[in-house]
Amino acid sequence: MKICDKTSVSSRLVRLARGTALPCGRAGHRRTAFEDTVVGRRVVISSDGGRIRLRETKRGPKTKKGRRRYTGAWCEPKVLIVYVVDAEGQQESRFAPFIDATLKGPDAVFALLRTYLQRLEITQADHVLFIADGAPWIWKRVPLLVQALGLATAQVHELLDFYHAVQHLGEVAALRKDWSAKARTRWRTQQRHLLMRSEVEQVIWSLPRSGDTSRWSPCTLSWCL
């Protein structure tokens, strides 16, 4: 798995509705969902966990204004995005990205991905790039998705988001209590520069060989190992 810089994502939201027409932005013209082609193009696929509050009505008396009381518990929706980039890695504005999310968990969001990619006929793309942080729930499902879609090995590329990788380096350095603050900063800076040069093996070799790993987060531990 390689390391890449953070990719900017368009804020345009494409409503994905089966069989419904979507406005294309020009008066008098309409287009249908999944009209855009990925034939011969570079497709980027990414998934991550989001953050949203759900309004749930509370039992008990209403407020003085007669309104129901409620709680706003935080939940993590699983989010996906599919877009196209050019040869320089810049997002193509002619291709409206597909964005969707679900509160039903990892399997549900990958089921959505499979449906959308099949309808886009993803096997006709030149390159298919998966970008994500180091969350195990993402990467353990990518090979299964690739197999289900019938993608060739030569088509598929995997990139670990650069800034998430750097975040984990900071967490590892912070757990080394025998290091001074200056030593932690120096080590983290050195590894960041190595990651920028895609020298991943060098970073793995330089990870601290001692220290209590029991307090590491599952994501950090899996990334380091």
Name the residue with higher pLDDT: 215 or 15: 215
Structure confidence at residue 58 (pLDDT): 85
Residue with tokens 């804020």: 11
**CA atoms 51, 9, 11, 120: torsion sign:** negative
Structure confidence at residue 149 (pLDDT): 96
Structure confidence at residue 189 (pLDDT): 92
Mean pLDDT over residues 195-208, rounded?
83
The token pair at 101 is 């999310």
Question: What are the tens digits of pLDDT across the range 160-171?
Answer: 888 888 888 888
Structure confidence at residue 164 (pLDDT): 82
Structure confidence at residue 35 (pLDDT): 54
Question: What are the tens digits of pLDDT across the range 12-42?
Answer: 333 333 333 333 333 333 444 445 789 999 9
Q: Is the pLDDT of residue 211 over 90?
A: no
* CA separation, residue 12 to residues 16, 21, 63 (Å): 13, 17, 38
> Where along the chain do its domains lie?
2-46+81-160, 163-224
Q: Lowest mean pLDDT: which of 14-28, 43-57, 113-127?
A: 14-28
Rounded Cα gap, residues 122 and 101, in angstroms? 20
Q: The domain at 2-46+81-160 falls in which architecture? A: 2-Layer Sandwich (3.30)
The token pair at 175 is 């757990």
- pTM value > 0.85: no
Structure confidence at residue 209 (pLDDT): 58
Structure confidence at residue 163 (pLDDT): 84
Q: Is the pLDDT of residue 203 over 50?
A: yes
